[in-house]
Amino acid sequence: MQDDVLLTAREGDVVTLTLNRPEKRNAMTMPMLTALRDAFRELAAATDVRAVILTGAGKAFCSGLDLKEMGLARRDDGSVEYPDIEDALHELEHCPLPTIAMMQGDAIAGGLELALHCDLRIAGASARMGMPLARIGLVVPYALTQKLLDTVGTPMTKELLFTGALLDAESARRAGLVTRIVPDDELTAATRALAAEIA
């Protein structure tokens, strides 16, 4: 059901938001993006929450935008009109609470951008991330690559966009895409411990 595309859980003063389309590797749909936008608007006004964890259900953090749905928003020049993701990223970036991306598995394209809009990013050791949009012939709106550019600089951004290469967790850490790597089976506990320490 559409209402279940984003799960919210609370432990003390830490809220965890979980992208919930594991069968599609948490590919983002318009309803999911709307739910994310609304959740971060609500969290921005909350007085009893001190930190937010963003993660994905199942084996992937987020595989980007749903390609079938995206096809409906694609222009003739190959670019994509997808204002929902820009709204969701804006609310995430401007959330006054510390945000932590808990990245298991893949964080691809829009999924990586989503993680980059969080204040901190903890990855499991088997995580992979990248922007393989050139491989499927998509033109990326500048706004959706700005965080990547700010995080890793122009040369690395160009390499990731031009080649579509996926980085393993250690390469991503060296590039600055993640702040910490932990063993996969310790990811949840390590992220919750960090959130509790911050809160």
Q: Which of these, 162, 164, 140, lies nearest to 70 by C-alpha position?
A: 140
Does the residue 150 lie in any domain? Answer: yes
Does the residue 50 lie in any domain? Answer: yes
**pLDDT tens figures, 80-114:** 566 678 899 999 999 999 999 999 999 999 999 99
What's the pLDDT at 73?
A: 55
**pLDDT tens figures, 143-186:** 668 889 999 999 999 999 999 999 999 999 999 999 999 999 99
Does the residue 40 lie in any domain? Answer: yes
What's the pLDDT at 118?
A: 98
Does the residue 29 lie in any domain? Answer: yes
Residue 158 belongs to domain with CATH number = 3.90.226.10
Does the residue 24 lie in any domain? Answer: yes
What's the pLDDT at 1?
A: 40
Does the residue 64 lie in any domain? Answer: yes
Question: For the chain, how many structural domains are there in total?
Answer: 1
CA atoms of 133 and 9, how far apart (whole Å): 32
Cβ neighbour number for residue 146 with a 10 Å cutoff: 16
Structural domain for 160, as ranges: 2-194
Contacting residues for 18 by C-beta, under 8 A, at least 6 apart: 6, 7, 8, 9, 55, 56, 57
Among 38-52, 66-80, 143-157, which range has the highest average pLDDT?
A: 38-52
Does the residue 119 lie in any domain? Answer: yes
Does the residue 189 lie in any domain? Answer: yes
Under 8 Å between Cβ of 52 and 93:
no
